[in-house]
Amino acid sequence: MKFRRSERLVDMTHYLMNHPRELVSLTWFAERYQSAKSSISEDLVIINDIFKHQGIGVLQTIPGAAGGVKFYPMVKEDQAEAIINKLCSLIADPERLLPGEYLFMTDLLGNPKMMNEVGKLLAAAVADREIDVIMTVSTKGIPIAQAVANQLNVPFVIVRRDPKVTEGPTVTINYVSGSSKRIQTMVLSKRSLKEGARVLIVDDFMKAGGTVNGMINLLEEFNASVAGIAVLVESEHVEERLVDDYISLVKLTDVNMKEKKINVVTGNYFSKKINFL
């Protein structure tokens, strides 16, 4: 079947959205739609314009025989602000307060649309970095890792607290939790990470950074490197932060159990050099 322009635009939009950061050759599109490459090029100009205008992303065209087009998901600054403001007001809900000044956040992490937005923001913040794999720790980091991995089109690996028979040989490290100062254990399947992998560490919550630091130590055992650290929520008022260079969407500035008040502000997101649309 020969596709008309309107049909190509719909299918190409769908295809590009499902293959972010992946090189698609114009020849491949031309054959898929039985259309001339010049028509495909014109289609891509239309898509790129509207993707930029609507805050969806940009298409990068790589010329030459081995060339093609790559879709990079991006956001506009005001979209990012709106999403982070929404997160802040959701997290500030006093109903979230749990004994020990912990916050209930499972509902946010189990909301796929919210996770897609979080994934989009965090991916945009590391868009210019070389990232081979996302790493997180079980359980609550997983939805964020999957969402970011989806946007960056790279795999994600899950660090566990205990070894499992289904993981095969594992590497285990001990680390000191930042806030409770307890010795804890982290385990990662040996097959999960290749030597030299550039790894983006993500998690739902960071207090002193002990867990993130543990993951950094674990990476060393794999001769892998840290390509970045990104968290949904960071907590202020930490005596000694173990991790310096990280991205956060939301910052918890005060939790008052007695007055049932949670104060949250925007994290350090906008202080990072991010290419907004």
Q: Which residues contribute to the site for its own copies (CB under 8 A)?
A: 1, 3, 5-7, 9-11, 13-14, 17-19, 46-47, 49-51, 53-54, 56, 98-100, 102-107, 110-113, 115-116, 138-140, 142-143, 146-147, 149-150, 153-158, 160, 165-168, 189, 191-192
Smallest distance, its own copies to C-beta of residue 107, A: 7
How would DSSP label each residue in 219-256? HHHTT-EEEEEEEEEEES--SS-S--S-EEEEEEEEEE
Smallest distance, its own copies to C-beta of residue 211, A: 13
Which residues sit opposite 185 in a β-bridge?
174
Nearer to its own copies, 66 or 165 (CB): 165
Nearer to its own copies, 144 or 216 (CB): 144
Smallest distance, its own copies to C-beta of residue 100, A: 6
Nearer to its own copies, 1 or 66 (CB): 1
Nearer to its own copies, 61 or 271 (CB): 61
Given a contact cutoff of 8 angstroms between Cβ atoms, the answer to whether 249 and 232 are in contact is: yes
Given a contact cutoff of 8 angstroms between Cβ atoms, the answer to whether 247 and 126 are in contact is: yes
DSSP secondary structure letter of residue 63: -
Q: Residue 20 contacts by C-beta under 8 Å, 6 or more apart in sequence?
A: 57, 71, 72, 73, 151, 152, 153
Q: What's the gap between Cα 238 and its chain centre?
A: 24
Q: CA–CA separation, 164 vs 1, rounded Å?
A: 50
Smallest distance, its own copies to C-beta of residue 207, A: 12
Nearer to its own copies, 96 or 272 (CB): 96
Q: CA–CA separation, 140 vs 109, rounded Å?
A: 7
Smallest distance, its own copies to C-beta of residue 174, A: 20
